Structure 1
Amino acid sequence: MAKAINAMYFSPTETTKKVVLRIAENISESMQSGTTIKTIDFTLPDVRKEPVSFTKDDILVLGIPVYAGRVPNILLNYLSSIKGNDSLAIAVVLYGNRNYDDALIELNDILVLNGFKVVAGGAFIGEHSFSKILAKDRPDEKDMAIATNFAGQISTKLKTQDDIRTVNVKGNSPYRSYYKPKNKEGQPVDIRKVTPKTNSDCTDCKICVSVCPMGSIDYEDVFKLNGICIKCGACIKKCPAHAKYYDSEDYLRHKYELEIEFASRREPELFL
Structure 2
Amino acid sequence: MDKKINTLYFSATGTTEKIVCEIAREISKDIDGKIMNINNIDFTLPKVREESVSFSEQDIVIVGVPVYAGRVPNVLLKYLSSIKGNGALAVSVAVYGNRNYDDALIELKDILELNGFKVIGAGAFIGEHSFSKILAKGRPDEKDMTIARNFAHSMYGKFVTGHEIKNLTVKGNKPYRKYYKPRNKEGVPVDIRKVTPKTNDNCTDCKICVNVCPMGSIDFKDVSKLNGICIKCGACIKKCPHGAKYYDDEDYLRHKYELEIEFASRKEPELFI
TM-score bracket for the superposition, by shorter chain length: over 0.9
Q: How many angstroms does 1:67 deviate by?
A: 0.1
Equivalent residue, structure 2, for 1:78: 79
Equivalent residue, structure 2, for 1:136: 137
In structure 2, distance between residues paired with 1:115 and 1:6: 16
Equivalent residue, structure 2, for 1:256: 257
Structure 2's unaligned 5+ residue stretches are none
Q: Secondary structure at the match of 1:155?
A: helix
Structure 1 residue identity aligned to 2:218: I
Equivalent residue, structure 2, for 1:11: 11
- CA deviations over 1:188-246 (Å, ceiling 9, x no partner): 00000000000011000000000000000000000100000000000000000100000
Pair 1:206-2:204 in alignment = no
- CA deviations over 1:24-60 (Å, ceiling 9, x no partner): 0101116789741000000000000011000000000
| Contact map agreement 1:56 1:87 (CA 8 A) in 2 | yes
Q: Secondary structure at the match of 2:29?
A: helix
| Contact map agreement 1:120 1:166 (CA 8 A) in 2 | no
> What stretches of structure 1 move > 6 A for 4+ residues in a row?
31-34
Equivalent residue, structure 2, for 1:94: 95
Equivalent residue, structure 2, for 1:115: 116
| Contact map agreement 1:20 1:61 (CA 8 A) in 2 | yes
Equivalent residue, structure 2, for 1:53: 54
In percent, how many aligned pairs have the same letter?
A: 72
| Contact map agreement 2:30 2:36 (CA 8 A) in 1 | no
In structure 2, distance between residues paired with 1:217 and 1:254: 24
| Contact map agreement 1:158 1:164 (CA 8 A) in 2 | no
Aligned pairs, number:
272
Q: How many angstroms does 1:62 deviate by?
A: 0.3
Q: How many angstroms does 1:257 deviate by?
A: 0.1
Q: How many angstroms does 1:157 deviate by?
A: 1.8
Equivalent residue, structure 2, for 1:245: 246
Q: 1:111 to 1:33 in 2, by over 3 A?
A: farther
In structure 1, distance between residues paired with 2:30 and 2:121: 16
Written as runs of structure 1 = structure 2, the 5 A alignment for 1:162-177 is: 162-177=163-178
| Contact map agreement 1:85 1:116 (CA 8 A) in 2 | yes
Q: How many angstroms does 1:161 deviate by?
A: 3.8
Equivalent residue, structure 2, for 1:145: 146
- CA deviations over 1:93-147 (Å, ceiling 9, x no partner): 0000000000000000000000000000000000000000000000000000000
Structure 2 residue identity aligned to 1:151: A
| Contact map agreement 1:4 1:33 (CA 8 A) in 2 | no
Q: 1:34 to 1:197 in 2, by over 3 A?
A: closer
Structure 2 residue identity aligned to 1:25: R
TM-score, with normalisation over the residues of structure 2?
0.98
| Contact map agreement 2:136 2:266 (CA 8 A) in 1 | yes
In structure 1, distance between residues paired with 2:74 and 2:103: 13
Structure 2 residue identity aligned to 1:240: P
| Contact map agreement 1:30 1:155 (CA 8 A) in 2 | no
Structure 2 residue identity aligned to 1:232: C
Give the stretch that moved more between structures: 154-163 or 66-75: 154-163
Pair 1:235-2:243 in alignment = no
In structure 2, distance between residues paired with 1:34 and 1:225: 41
Equivalent residue, structure 1, for 2:28: 28
In structure 1, distance between residues paired with 2:230 and 2:85: 30
In structure 2, distance between residues paired with 1:124 and 1:70: 14
Q: 1:30 to 1:189 in 2, by over 3 A?
A: farther
In structure 1, distance between residues paired with 2:185 and 2:128: 25
Aligned-residue CA RMSD (Å): 1.2
Structure 1's unaligned 5+ residue stretches are none
Structure 2 residue identity aligned to 1:17: E
